[in-house]
Amino acid sequence: MRTICVVGTGYVGLVTGSCLAELGNRVICLDVVAAKIERLQRGELPIYEPGLEPIVERNMDAGRLSFTTDYAEAVRDADYIFIAVNTPTVAGGEGADMQYVESAARSIGKNLVKSVVIINKSTMPVGSGHFVSGVVRKHLRNPALTVAVVSNPEFLREGSAVQDFLQPDRVVLGSEDRDAALKVGELYLSLRAPIVVTDLATAEMIKYASNAFLATKISFINEIARICDLLGADVKEVAAGMGYDKRIVRAFLDAGLGYGGSCFPKDVKALAHMADEAGLHPQLLEAVMKINHDQRHVVIDKLEGELGGEGSLRGKTIAVLGLAFKDNTDDMRDAPAIDIIHWLIGAGATVRSFDPVATEVARGLLPTEGITYCADEYAAAEGSDAVLVVTEWKQFRQLNLARLRDAMRPREAGRVLVDGRNLYDPVEMKRLGFRYHGIGRGTERRAATAQPTDEQSDAEQSDLDGATGE
């Protein structure tokens, strides 16, 4: 049985530690936030991540998984130490903030009593492997100890993190010490995934290049969506038609509100910053970021377009469905909902919101006035002038749309629903009497065509209610 320490018990550290315990290792997870560790010691998860709780419980019960705030205890017997602390954008800047990594490396160095392999699991700028190794060595109390550093970037997605960790597309290991990289590879052998062994800088770059490529796909399809809206094409069908091409692949071609969350925004920014610092202007990355920034405002423009033009949001009530940056998570870091709700309230609107899991996390990030947190989607829609879908929660796809429509304030031109995630079928929404706008569904061009009034749609509705289901 190998002994592993995981430093940083957030989304990545907790999943990594729990899954490595599940694979039969003895794992101690460490964090500097005592309240988080106390909750975990009581068996409570500090984050929402489907499928994680039973793994934590099972491995704690089996004595393979434990939690501490004490570095000396955590590193004493460890053969492997993973660093999984946060690497956000530096305050007021663009590059990655390495203060948490530096602090972790310092504490590891001070407390090491045996030779060890340190694994950089956090996303860190190219060159960080040498940085970590330097900081640890500088603080060693016993200079005879050997410290090898391996970059092992993580590719899991929040919401499916357990499955992604246990069934990875590939495992990347980069080191100047090939034996150390192969030793880390042994931890993953039972997963039967391709293992890519490289030098340190290459492994670090694989992570940034992967995230930047996925972000590029998202900005690409969002630009195509804007063109579709103007030319009357449907971006969902465009993406489906493109996606059959094996060179393109359908994944990450979902037009919407752009990328958010704790990784893509900061990692694209950090990569562009690294390029800049090295003397290369990152033209493509700049465009990717600009498109993403503008994309969040598209839904505000669509709402204003429907409600009477610029300034028309004043005094209106907007139901916002979804707060988390994507479905199946409570992570609100850089969630589009934060910007969108600030813009709505800033424009004089009142917001009624609902999210299945992220409301508590969101409260601290959203304005204290002008927003009501509702118990469900229908309560959020109650008396609203428009519904805005922000997160692609599965349950939103299964709404009783007639009930949602009837909860809204009646409107002669039809009730307005702006679907920032393209969950619904424009034809069905029109038949239900909505003034429906997706992203890139060709609706801007078709908006000029007549829509049924509330009375017409109510009459049609009696035939359709049964079909929408709940």
Ligand X SMILES: NC(=O)c1ccc[n+]([C@@H]2O[C@H](COP(=O)([O-])OP(=O)(O)OC[C@H]3O[C@@H](n4cnc5c(N)ncnc54)[C@H](O)[C@@H]3O)[C@@H](O)[C@H]2O)c1
Judged by CB, which is closer to ligand X: 135, or 386?
135
The alpha carbon of residue 121 and the mean position of all alpha carbons in its chain are separated, in whole angstroms, by: 17
Nearer of residues 10 and 440 to ligand X, judged by Cβ: 10
Q: Give every CB contact of residue 36 below 8 A, 6+ residues apart in sequence.
A: 9, 46
Decide if 278 contacts 229 (C-beta within 8 A).
no
Residue 339 CA to residue 342 CA, distance in Å, equals 5
Q: Which of 21, 40, 55, 85 is the binder for ligand X (CB under 6 A)?
A: 85
- Bridge-based pairing of strands 80-83 and 415-419 is unpaired
Q: Which residues of 55-93 are buried (b: 16+ CB within 10 A; e: fewer)?
A: bbeebbeeebbbbbbebeebbeebbbbbbbbbbebbeee
Please say which residue, 156 or 299, places its beta carbon nearer to ligand X: 156
Which residue numbers are catalytic? Answer: 263
Only one of the segments 6-14, 37-45, 168-176, 451-459 lies at the binding site for ligand X (rule: CB under 6 A); that segment is 6-14
Q: Does 56 bind ligand X (CB under 6 A)?
A: no
Judged by CB, which is closer to ligand X: 11, or 354? Answer: 11
Site pattern 97..136 for ligand X (x: CB under 6 A): ---x--xx-----------------xx-------------
Q: How far is the CB of 446 from ligand X (least distance, A)?
A: 37
Strand 386-389 and strand 80-83: pairing? Answer: unpaired
Q: Does 13 bind ligand X (CB under 6 A)?
A: yes
- 84 part of the interface to ligand X, by CB under 6 A: yes
Q: Which stretch binds ligand X (CB under 6 A): 152-160, 194-202, 392-400, 401-409?
A: 152-160
Query: Between residues 9 and 457, which has the closer beta carbon with respect to ligand X?
Result: 9
Which of 156, 184, 366, 432 touches ligand X by CB under 6 A?
A: 156
Binding range to ligand X, per CB under 6 A, among 128-136, 151-159, 235-243, 286-294: 151-159
CA-based nearest residue to 86, from 37, 38, 123, 117: 123
Which residue is closest to ligand X by CB?
A: 10
Q: Which is nearer to ligand X, 8 or 452 (CB)?
A: 8
Q: Does 8 bind ligand X (CB under 6 A)?
A: yes
Return the number of the residue (137 or 178) whose C-beta is nearest ligand X.
Answer: 137
Q: Examine residue 334 and tell whether it contacts ligand X (CB under 6 A).
A: no
Answer yes or no whether residue 18 interacts with ligand X by CB under 6 A.
Answer: no
- CB closer to ligand X out of 9 and 461: 9
Cβ(274)–Cβ(125) below 8 Å:
yes
Q: Which listed residue (24, 33, 383, 460) binds ligand X by CB under 6 A? A: 33
Contact 89, 270 (CB under 8 A): yes
Q: What is the DSSP string of 417-466?
A: EEETT--S-HHHHHHTTEEEE-SSSSHHHHTTS----HHHHHHHHHHHHH
Q: Which of 19, 30, 200, 235 binds ligand X (CB under 6 A)?
A: 30
Q: CB-side exposure of 259: number of CA atoms within 13 Å?
A: 26
Q: Measuring CA to CA, which residue among 168, 77, 160 is closest to residue 121? A: 168
Distance CA(194)–CA(185), nearest Å, equals 10
Q: Does 365 bind ligand X (CB under 6 A)?
A: no
Which position has the token pair 């160095």? 109
The H or E element spanning position 352 is strand 350-354
Q: Which alpha helices (H) appear in 127-173, and where do they start and end?
A: 128-139, 161-166
Segment interacting with ligand X, rule: CB under 6 A, options 53-61, 78-86, 245-253, 349-357 = 78-86
> What is the closest distance, in whole angstroms, from the C-beta atom of residue 155 to ligand X in the complex?
6
Smallest separation (angstroms) from ligand X to the CB of 152: 11
Q: Is 9 in the site for ligand X (CB under 6 A)?
A: yes
Q: Which two tokens stand for residue 433?
A: 């009497």
Report the amino acid identity of residue 133: S
Q: Which range in 11-19, 73-81, 175-183, 431-439 contacts ligand X by CB under 6 A? A: 11-19
Give the interface segment with ligand X, choosing from 9-17, 376-384, 443-451, 457-465 (CB under 6 A). Answer: 9-17
Number of residues in contact with ligand X under rule CB under 6 A:
26
What is the number of other CB atoms lying within 10 angstroms of the CB of residue 164?
17
Token duo for residue 23 = 């694979």
Q: Which of 4, 6, 11, 168 binds ligand X (CB under 6 A)?
A: 11
Using CB under 6 A as the criterion, which residues of the chain lie in contact with ligand X when the complex forms?
Answer: 7-13, 30-33, 36, 84-87, 100, 103-104, 122-123, 154, 156, 158, 262-263
